[in-house]
Structure 1
Amino acid sequence: MGIVLHVLGWTALSSEAGGNCGRFKGPCPQGLTGVLLLAFGCTFAGLGGLAFVHSALEKRGALPRRRRWSAIIAVVGVLAGVWPGALVYDGLRGQFLEVRWSAPLDRPADVMGAGSWVDGDLVVRARTDRLIGYTTTGTAWTTEVPGRQALCTMSRDVEDGVGLVAWAADGRPCATVVAMDLRTGKSLWQLARTASDRPYGPAMAGDELAVASGLAVFTEPTGLRGVGLREHDERWRLDVEPGCTPAGVAASADQVAMLVSCENAGLHVVVVDPASGRERWRAEVPVEPPMASVALLAARPVVVRAVEEGSRTEDVVISFSDEGQVQARIPRSGPDYDMPPVEQTYWRARPVRPLVVRDGLLIAPVSAPGEDRRTAVAAFSLKTGTQVWRTAIDGDVVTVESTTGGLVVATDRLYLNELSPTDGAVTATLPVRGEWWVHDVDLRKVSDRYAVIASDGTKEPPVVMVG
């Protein structure tokens, strides 16, 4: 058993942690400390037992005639320890995820990921020049962005196997909206929208496209427009007041929300009935405009993130009731925590948001005050703003994914932790076998596997399926 545990343990240390781990080298692979301690313990016990038997036989003068049997017993003893050693190793290490498949590296070497979707067992990764659909075992389809245009924005979600993208030439408004059938990789339709004069560039705070209730919804300088998701027949338009401009849209199954910026009236949230396009209610965002950057995080409940500028600034998440009343104000920096920025701009068309809104909670990775490493995940009530639970995570949290069953948290060493969204309890710890160091990734649950989607797929695989 000692031999087996030594071989497996030191091999794991080399392959999963580069040969060293500890306080100043990063966390050790799961269960490896116990494996190596037991390996030394079994080794010393085995050698001690062998020495004792050898000494006893020697004292009785039986060693010369028993030497062959002693060697046979030693060999049999070693072989008999192989299977128990493997069982003990697996028990101490716990459950692991294995890499099942990885996509080939991106080429040319200067392209970057722009966003991603999941639909059933299909992962779609967008680049500025193409969209690629992956199954759990390989590439399903590839769709090129025509000509020299670039994919500049995409819907946050998909519905009924359809997602929205838009593309334009560099420096031009993002005006061509395309509905993609994710099952085939082909476009269902495309239309021209009146896009903002703001040229394609770094990621914006607000989404410009959304899908919900069989609708494709997108912003234009004059307001909001809804068309059929599969037929693109126009359903309704909702104009904003003169001097106002849409600044983002979000959608849920039964509600559409639009963020509106007005020159003289500040920032407002306008909530729309997706069936008729009629306004349900509107509410002022309680910030100090115009020196504020506001992102619309969710449509029901309506949740926004506001970052003010100036000497007396607030960086806060604000939630609204179904009647348009402010319910909670959750500061990004509290007495015992700091949240990350609302969006990570290396995903340009669909920025990854580390903040999750679900079940009446705002869930976010947090760090201790003054620390850079986000070593916990915390949940805050969107009704009261109080912290509901907080769970420590072994490692630096890089992303949090909301799934049907709960939450999945990934660290920079690619340790996946499944959490209960109700109380934050860790229901499973699932490290990925091998040595990993990830950043700028999106994590998606795909059937019974996980897709690790890299922003920069030129040095690491753009998509890795583990399970």
Structure 2
Amino acid sequence: MAGTAVTLAVIASITAWILSHNGYLPGDAVVRTWAAAKDRPADGRPSGTWVVGDVAVRSRFDAVTGFGIADGQNGKKLWEYVPPGRSQICGSARHADASVLLVAYGEEGGGASEPAPQGKGCATVLALDVKDGRQLWTAQRTVTTGRLGQGARFLDTGRDLALVAHDHRDALGARTKDEHTSLRALDLRTGKPRWTAALPDRCGPQQVSVGKEQVFAVLECGGADRVSPGSSDGPELMTAAFNRETGALNWNVPVDARRPVRLGSTVAIESTDPLVLSDTGRYTPFGQDGRPRPGIEFSGGRGRTGEPDYPQTAITGERMYALEGFWEKGQRHRLVAFDLTTGEEVWKVTLDDPAAALTARGDRITVLGEWSTQSSKITDLLEYDADNGEELDDRRFRDAVPGAGTLYEHDGQLIIAGTGGDHTFTAYERW
């Protein structure tokens, strides 16, 4: 009898492990609640996703679509905007704020290497009400020529403000000699002009972002001529802050105080509160007065493709969380927390399996984990204490998860934006 009891206990333990590992035990599982319609296959052109209120939005070159995510809507398509005629959407604002999304559209050139017609590339800015897809207003951007498919870093929103950068470009993407550039703020709901920024001399905006107290821009400064990266002289990238209410210039400093950062470098605004810039694995925070803080740098381990694999990051408050990749019998990841005021590492956790995505929300860091170092199938949901890195939850997805898209949280649901060809959005809940 004792032997039978031991055998049954072993069988029960194995069965419980299998059920838990496959997401069939309460407290250990994540189950799918709904899935929106499948998206069309990706074609390499920029796309974006947002969750605003009770609507999830997907923006592609051919349409912007809103899906309902409130109780009972289950990812139902609510509305869709298709650009007129032969024009295409060339990008959308990074943020959809106050239920308004900005998109830019224009005409495409005759071929992959041919620029858009004179004055047509990304020339029209449109404000869409995220709730119902209603067109609120349109505005024209000043452009000479421009290529579609490079995103819309010249747009952003924040509270009641719409930010639009105007810039003349020649066929090679360089600023034209007339230096006709401006940065303008509009009322987000009506499109009425608010102010035109006081740009530094011989500078034009490359990308913009709206913060809570200031408006930020990465500027191309120093003239119209381009120089190759690494050149000892010529134009360089600067970063500037403007008064949110008036557009007055508050400060203007180099992107990197140690060396000039040339035009064409991959600088991006990662956060505005605080301001954090990234440049090929280096993250530089700035104080409200424009003084750079200690930087955080990643070497970029080799990923599955053999290309440098720079980390995914999430920034909240004065902390940056990063999925730092490394190679050890396959792709692996560490979850690392940094203090943005000092640049110092606060805590670090080595994950058992590779990670596909992360999000920071409140006092928790949520990570999507993959099956193994040899597979990109998402199977795990891991949660960590944002303060000290302690593991708070470890669950398994019972149902198939789309490829590593963006992860959102909404009213207790996890919403994953699929890549091209997958379900546009899929919702899961903890069980």
Q: The TM-score by the shorter chain falls in which range?
A: 0.7 to 0.9
The letter for the 1-side match of 2:271 is A
Query: What is the TM-score normalised by the length of structure 1?
Result: 0.71
**Equivalence map 1:36-435=2 (5 Å):** 38-39=10-11, 94-107=27-40, 114-136=47-69, 137=74, 138-171=76-109, 172=116, 173-195=121-143, 197-203=145-151, 207-221=153-167, 222-263=181-222, 264=234, 266-286=236-256, 287-290=259-262, 292-307=265-280, 315-333=281-299, 340-341=309-310, 354-368=312-326, 373-404=331-362, 406-412=364-370, 413-435=378-400
Tell me, what secondary structure is at the counterpart of 2:28?
A: coil
Deviations 1:104-157 (A, max 9, x none): 223478697710111122111112111121123122222222222221111121
Residue identity opposite 1:186 in structure 2: R
Q: 1:275 to 1:37 in 2, by over 3 A?
A: farther
Larger radius of gyration: 1
Q: Secondary structure at the match of 2:29?
A: coil
- For 1:101, give the aligned amino acid: W
1:221-264, Cα deviation, whole Å (9 max, x unpaired): 21311000001110111143453221111122222111111134
Deviations 1:286-306 (A, max 9, x none): 233326432122222221112
Tell me how far apart the structure 2 counterparts of residues 149 and 229 of structure 1 sit (CA, whole Å).
23
5+ long unaligned stretches in structure 1: 1-35, 44-81, 308-314, 343-353
- Which piece of structure 1 moves more, 427-436 or 118-127? 427-436
Return the offset for 1:429: 2.4
Change (3 A) 1:91 1:410: closer
The one-letter code matched in structure 1 to 2:127 is A
Match of 2:10, SS state, is helix
Structure 2 partner of 1:61:
none
**What is the alpha-carbon distance in structure 1 between the residues aligned to residue 285 and residue 19 of structure 2?**
52
Equivalences, count? 368
The residue matched to 2:190 in structure 1 has which SS?
Answer: coil
Q: Secondary structure at the match of 2:294?
A: strand
Give, as a single letter, the amino acid of the residue that structure 2 aligns with 1:115.
Answer: G
1:451 aligned partner = 415
Q: Any gaps of 5 or more consecutive residues in structure 2?
A: 1-7, 110-115, 168-180, 223-233, 371-377
TM-score (norm 2): 0.76
CA distance, structure 2, for counterparts of residue 304 and residue 378 of structure 1: 18
Asked whether the 8 Å contact 1:120–1:447 carries over to 2, the reply is no
Once residues 91 and 105 of structure 1 are traced to their aligned partners in structure 2, the CA distance between those partners, rounded to angstroms, is 26
- In structure 2, give the amino acid aligned to 1:254: E
State the one-letter code of the partner of 2:147: P
8 A Cα contact 2:104 2:123, kept in partner: yes
Write the deviation string for residues 192-232 of structure 1: whole angstroms up to 9, x where unpaired.
1114633113457xx22111131001211213110000011
Query: Could you tell me how far 1:95 is from its partner in structure 2?
Result: 2.5
Which residue pairs with 1:10 in the alignment?
Answer: none
Q: Identity of aligned pairs, percent?
A: 24
Distance 1:168 1:124 in 2: 20
Amino acid at match of 2:184: R
Q: Is the 8 A contact 2:366 2:381 kept in 1?
A: yes
The one-letter amino acid of 2:291's match is: Q
Cα–Cα, structure 1 residues 250 and 37, in superposed 2: closer, same or farther, change >3 Å? farther
Structure number having the greater strand percentage: 2
Q: Distance in 2 between matches of 1:109 and 1:326?
A: 38
The 3 A distance-change label for structure 1 pair 363 and 104 is: same
Deviations 1:69-125 (A, max 9, x none): xxxxxxxxxxxxx9xx99999896743121111122234786977101111221111
The answer to whether the Cα contact below 8 Å between 1:133 and 1:182 also exists between their aligned partners in 2 is yes
The amino acid across from 2:323 in the alignment is P
Give the CA RMSD over aligned residues.
3.3
Say whether the 8 Å CA contact 2:364–2:384 is kept in structure 1. yes
Distance across 1 between alignment mates of 2:277 and 2:28:
38
Match of 1:442 in 2: 406
**CA distance in 2 between partners of 1:89 and 1:157 (Å):** 36
Residue in 2 aligned with 1:48? none
Q: Secondary structure at the match of 2:368?
A: strand
